[in-house]
Amino acid sequence: MTLTGKAALVSGAAGGIGRAIATAFAQAGSAVACCDIDLAGAEETARLVE
Amino acid sequence: VAAAAKDAFGRLDILVSGAAPHDTGGAVTETTLADWERVVAVNLTGSFLLCRAALPLMIAGGGGSIILIASQLGRVGSAGRAAYCATKGALIQLAKVMAIDHAGENIRVNALSPGAVETARITRRYGSFEAARAAIGPKHVLGRLGQPPEIAAAAVFLASDASSFVTGSDLLVDGGYTAT
């Protein structure tokens, strides 16, 4: 399963399931925008994604 | 949020609505209006607003896949979880209606319903993973809680072309919680 060339937006991306989804999408080849009211958590996910 | 995605990517192919508040739970008689409205606002209204903002971008791009994170508790009831169960059930229905309304625009919409997963939400509710495993592990046929990557794998499936004939569904990834 590949997401190469796709653009994704994940809300609730600061932790738990949202963070796991964001990283899995990135590993599958997608660009990912990480959204959360916990901005620090979302930025941490974004670092993991990169 | 959708405008930020457009600025960053120029397009949007995949949307996951996964935000969830801490909710103290309670029967209807124990739930204040403020608590009820907070759970509805994040679980249900937040998903609606996110989809409403993202859909025009997806439509302009020729299609996409939307995944609403629901719950096994959107399928079955659970003691003292009135607001949570009600909103998660509503998300499953919201996914179905959006699947119907936007099929012609090549947009697939599905719910993804995890069982209990070992996240910060669980430690906040049960105190520790150990306590959570003891309390609700046995409610899952597999005898344990899920791990976040096990839910993410299902999300990758729903986001990818591997699920090209899947829309309006609710994919249970619940360790068999609802099988009994």
| pLDDT at B70 (0 to 100) | 98
Best probe of the A interface among B6, B9, B42, by most A CBs < 10 A, is B9
DSSP character for A5? T
CA-based nearest distance B66→chain A, Å: 10
User: Would you say B114 and B71 are in contact if contact means Cβ atoms under 8 Å apart?
Assistant: yes
Q: What is the mean pLDDT of residues A29-49?
A: 91
Q: What is the mean pLDDT of chain B?
A: 95
Share of chain A above pLDDT 70, in %: 100
Q: Which pLDDT tens digit goes with each residue over B138-177?
A: 999 999 999 999 999 999 999 999 999 999 999 999 999 9
Catalytic residues of B: 84
Token pair for residue B44?
């249900």
Which residues does residue B81 pair with via DSSP β-bridges, in sequence order? Answer: B26
How many contiguous H segments (helices) and E segments (strands) does chain A have? 2, 2
CB nearest B13 (choices: A8, A23, A36): A8
A29: which chain B residues are within 8 Å (Cβ-Cβ)?
none
Residue B5 has pLDDT above 90, yes or no: no
Give me the interface pTM, i.e. the ipTM. 0.95
Q: What is the mean pLDDT of residues A26-38?
A: 94
| pLDDT at B22 (0 to 100) | 81
| A26 CB within 8 Å of a chain B CB | no
| pLDDT at B179 (0 to 100) | 97
User: Would you say B84 and B25 are in contact if contact means Cβ atoms under 8 Å apart?
Assistant: yes
DSSP collapsed to 3 states, B124-151: HHHCCHHHHHHHHHHHCCCCCCECHHHH
CA distance A2 to B97: 27
CA-based nearest distance B80→chain A, Å: 23
| pLDDT at B21 (0 to 100) | 84
CB nearest B16 (choices: A1, A6, A21): A21
Nearest CA in chain A to B47: A11
Give the relative orientation of helices A39-49 and A16-27 as an angle to the nearest 10 degrees. 30
CA distances from A38 to A43, A50, B168 (A): 9, 19, 30
